[in-house]
Chain A
Amino acid sequence: MIEFRGVSKTYPGSSRPVVNDLSFEVFDGEICVLVGPSGCGKTTSMRMVNRLIEPSAGEILIDGEPNTAMSGTKLRRHIGYAIQQIGLFPHRTIADNIATVPQLLEWDKGRISARVEELLNLVGLDPDQYRDRYPAELSGGQQQRVGVARALAADPPVMLMDEPFGAVDPINRHRLQDEFLRIQGEIKKTIIFVTHDIDEAIKMGDRIAILQEGGILAQYDTPENILASPNSEFVSSFVGADRVLKRLSLLRVSDVELGPPNGDGLPRLSERMNLKDALSELIGAGVERGSVVSDKDAVRGTLSIETIQRLSHGAEQARGE
């Protein structure tokens, strides 16, 4: 668990703090997304965890221990670090890049090369093909994968990721996000993930911390709760006017209570679709209802626009309370 306790940061020569009295907890095995407009202090907050930046006030605890209990370099070797610009070492091969922290920790050679192979497989790069290449020989998406593999190398319990998928095109970004969520399902790291993109925050976060200018924590909650009941003007305008649709995108067709199977000629909806896409399909087809099918094409039931509406109305009500 990572715990921020009254953390503030004011740079010398400035009267305005960039992070202001930040207190919240990141739970084990969860992705906590720090999101907000530029100047909200999200990157600064993240960089205080591994002490690339020292706070002016307050403290950060990792598993109950202040992060100042050991030297900054020792601390950083036990926290994964991945950034948008990736920062791979251009003069080192992919294998050597991934091996950076294990080498610092003086693992033996056999263990390092086995780990490199494991990680390349994990991020979907063929070890035989990529191990001995240099970063410049890889595409942007492949470099981001190597960046993530390098951050995971010494199997750190905590990871810091600053827009780790920010430098690739949208299609690749979605693919990398999906891959990372699958990986996280296996490795269950405690992750602080920084982004400026609310859609990425909703997709990636188990919990979202929305920060506003001046480094003030506006709201900290699960994506569902933030979308259902934003606690201020700032949060509701930041999550956007389409927050009802965004919330629908968090639910899958299979999560909904379906009507009895009925129907010839109804458009087919995969049960793995999210409700936002399902709604879009129904509106696009100009019909009220669709037939929900499994991967193997077995009919599960019907889904109506009315059901979806009722679910989103629930969200509106929750907000009103």
Chain B
Amino acid sequence: MFDWGWVSNNITDEILPALIGHIYLSFVSVAIALLISLPIGILVSRYRKVYPPVTFITGLLFSIPSLALFALLVSVPGLGLGSTTVIIALVSYSLLVLIRNVVAGIDSVPEETRDAARGMGLTNRQILFRVELPLALPVIVAGIRIATVTIIGIATIGAYISGGGLGELIFTGISRNFPTRVIVGAVLATLLAVLADLTLLAVERYLRPWARTRRA
């Protein structure tokens, strides 16, 4: 049933490009989502009033079924089929989780730490970059982890609108009734998600050296 011969014949011209395409889609999407979420999260932590509308909009985006969102975006003039459309969809899925974690991370900074920082003469900008963001970073990375794993999964559907990636193998495998393609695509997507999860978990731990305590 599983055709090893096909795997070895197509590893360089089909499987590897699909894997690289998938990594590219996921990485670019998370990166763009992060660039949008960081300033919004910081803004929300300063002006609480904007939090409800931000959660409402990003929550709405998050709740649209992925296939429906892809279909909707394809019909937008100027977008059509292709990886750009897929990336837009993937970004819109990550915003909720990322913004929430940026806000939660900044909120987790103890008030007395902020007060001490201000009392010693740090400017607002220095408090943000030297105190709040470093302390929030592990929580932000935890959000990146969830977003990345989610995106790697949803990105497979992107092949439906010609976004490329491992979904390509799965969809063509189904339509040509060739299970080997489906299995290779599915297994690689899963491995990629697990690997990303573990890597980011390690990063999260590494960023919290102060939590590895040895009590005096």
Contacts and interface: CB of A to CB of B under 8 A. Distances in A.
Interface of A: 50, 52, 73-78, 81, 83, 85-92, 100-101, 104, 130, 133-139, 142, 147, 150, 160
A90 B121 contact: no
A87 B213 contact: no
A89 B113 contact: yes
9 contacts: A76-B119, A77-B121, A87-B113, A91-B135, A91-B209, A92-B210, A101-B121, A134-B209, A137-B214
Contact of B216 (A89, A104, A142): A142
A264 to B, nearest CB: 49
A52 B121 CA distance: 10
A134 B210 contact: yes
A83 B119 CA distance: 9
Contacts of A85: 110, 112, 115
Nearest to A78: B121
A247 B131 CA distance: 45
Contact of A87 (B112, B126, B211, B214): B112
B116 A104 contact: no
Contacts of A142: 216
Contact of B210 (A81, A90, A160): A90
A293 B213 CA distance: 48
B117 interface: yes
Contacts of A100: 117, 120, 122
Residue from A100, A138, A147 with most neighbouring chain B CB atoms (10 Å): A100
Contacts of B120: 76-77, 81, 100-101, 104, 150
A161 to B, nearest CB: 11
B176 interface: no
B81 to A, nearest CB: 46
Interface residues of B, number: 24
Contact of B116 (A87, A130, A133): A87
B215 interface: yes
A63 to B, nearest CB: 18
A135 B126 CA distance: 20
Residue from A52, A81, A90, A91 with most neighbouring chain B CB atoms (10 Å): A91
Contact of A139 (B113, B126, B214, B216): B216
Interface in B107-149: 110, 112-123, 126, 131, 134-135
A156 to B, nearest CB: 10
B131 A73 contact: no
Contacts of B214: 137
Contact of B121 (A74, A136, A160): A74
A52 B116 contact: no
A150 B113 CA distance: 13
Interface string B73-117: 000000000000000000000000000000000000010111111
A83 B210 contact: no
A81 B121 CA distance: 10
Contacts of A75: 121
Given A52-B118, A74-B121, A76-B118, A137 B215 contact: yes
Contacts of A86: 112, 116
Interface in B174-216: 209-211, 213-216
A87 B115 contact: yes
Query: What 7 pairs between A and B have smallest CB-CB spacing?
Result: A87-B116, A77-B121, A85-B112, A76-B121, A81-B119, A87-B112, A134-B210
Contacts of B119: 50, 52, 76, 81, 83, 87, 160
